[in-house]
């Protein structure tokens, strides 16, 4: 049996996905839907992590040849993802995404296993959709029943409306999303804590400057406002902040359609979001508003801690993917 250290010998053959980045010889995964993919010939692969500390485990989702996937929990960094039993004469594709956001997780070891090993060409790029959002985009509570308790097992960003939309369109997803965050204030009314607009500019939620041109999307989707509403922010203060953020997005991506999607969990800022888009469109016609029904009107769609569950995700992903197809046709 042979082993091949992919990071040491074939780093350029690994394609990063979403808001991930190289830090020395490790892959940093600080956001949901951040990850990587590679292709190889061999019997299996082993993926390892730098030491990690967390109260609740974070989860990755791992796809093998796009035929099956499984979730993998990381609590200490001592865990290893082991993929084995593959045909060594076949080219295989492995794709890994962070599906529960915590502190940044670092991949420091990728090894191929088998008697006939070869790293193949980098997987091809697809249509790209970028999302900025809060817990709804993170898939918070999407797997759980309605109730006050929450554990990280109930979250999975690949069951959110955002990932399902990308999946329906055969697209890659890029997400700057963090639970509890807003444009003006967070869900507890805190204006001093990090806001989503800051996180959008940074490599991680807390530091680093993200190079916006390193990932240029074909469509940009915003779903923000629920936490501002819960934080007590008035429309008069929130609307200019939403318009300003759309303007910032436009400064980075001059020709990319911007879609403001709102209403899944809370309708408080629905009219304000529509007005913000209308004000932005006075100077920029390449923007769209997608109002959605709230889960509060349909209890079967309520997941953990009152968040949208997988049924709501499917409904909104149908609506959003239809709009994107119409815009891009």
The model's pLDDT over 160-181, given as tens digits with 9 standing for 90+, comes to 999 999 999 999 999 999 999 9
| CATH 3.40.50.1110 domain position(s) in the chain | 127-328
Reading phi first (left if > 0) and then psi (alpha if -120 to 50, else beta), residue 17 is in: beta
DSSP state of 159: G
Specify the pLDDT at position 271: 98
pTM score over 0.85: yes
Specify the pLDDT at position 206: 85
What is the CATH number that goes with domain 2-119?
2.60.120.260
Low-confidence ranges of the chain (pLDDT < 70): 149
| CATH 2.60.120.260 domain position(s) in the chain | 2-119
How far is residue 101's CA from residue 103's CA, in Å, rounded to a whole number? 7
How far is residue 36's CA from residue 28's CA, in Å, rounded to a whole number? 10
Strands 58-64 and 171-177: unpaired
How far is residue 271's CA from residue 212's CA, in Å, rounded to a whole number? 30
- Within 10 A of 266 (CB to CB), how many other CB atoms are there? 19
Specify the pLDDT at position 193: 81
Specify the pLDDT at position 253: 98
CB 25 within 8 A of CB 11: yes
Homologous superfamily of domain range 127-328: SGNH hydrolase (3.40.50.1110)
């Amino acid at each position: 049996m042979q082993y091949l250290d992919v990071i040491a010998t074939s780093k350029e053959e690994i394609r990063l996905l979403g808001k991930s980045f190289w830090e020395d010889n490790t892959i940093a995964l600080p956001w949901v839907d951040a990850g990587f993919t590679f292709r190889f010939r061999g019997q299996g692969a082993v993926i390892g992590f730098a030491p990690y500390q967390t109260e609740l485990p974070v989860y990755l989702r791992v796809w093998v040849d796009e035929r099956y996937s499984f979730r993998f929990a990381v609590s200490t960094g001592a865990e290893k993802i082991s993929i084995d039993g593959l045909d060594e004469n076949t080219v295989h594709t492995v794709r890994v995404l962070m599906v529960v956001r915590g502190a940044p997780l670092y991949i420091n070891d990728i090894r191929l296993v088998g008697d006939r090993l070869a790293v193949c060409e980098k997987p091809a790029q697809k249509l790209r959709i970028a999302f900025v959002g809060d817990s709804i985009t993170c898939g918070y509570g999407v797997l759980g029943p309605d109730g006050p308790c929450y554990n990280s097992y109930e979250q999975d960003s690949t069951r959110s409306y955002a990932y399902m939309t990308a999946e329906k369109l055969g697209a890659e997803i890029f997400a700057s999303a963090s639970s509890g965050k807003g444009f003006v204030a967070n869900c507890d009314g805190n204006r001093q804590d990090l806001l989503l607009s800051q996180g959008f500019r940074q490599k991680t939620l807390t530091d680093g400057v993200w190079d916006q041109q390193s990932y240029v999307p074909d469509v940009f989707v915003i779903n923000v406002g629920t936490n501002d509403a819960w934080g007590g922010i008035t429309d008069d203060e929130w609307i200019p902040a939403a318009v300003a953020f759309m303007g910032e997005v436009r400064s980075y991506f001059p020709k990319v359609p911007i879609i403001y999607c709102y209403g899944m969990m809370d309708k408080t800022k629905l009219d304000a979001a529509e007005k913000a888009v209308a004000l932005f469109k006075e100077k920029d016609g390449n923007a769209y508003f997608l109002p959605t029904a709230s889960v509060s009107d349909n209890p079967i769609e309520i997941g953990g801690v009152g968040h949208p569950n997988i049924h709501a995700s499917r409904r909104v992903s149908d609506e959003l993917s239809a709009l994107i197809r119409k815009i891009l046709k």
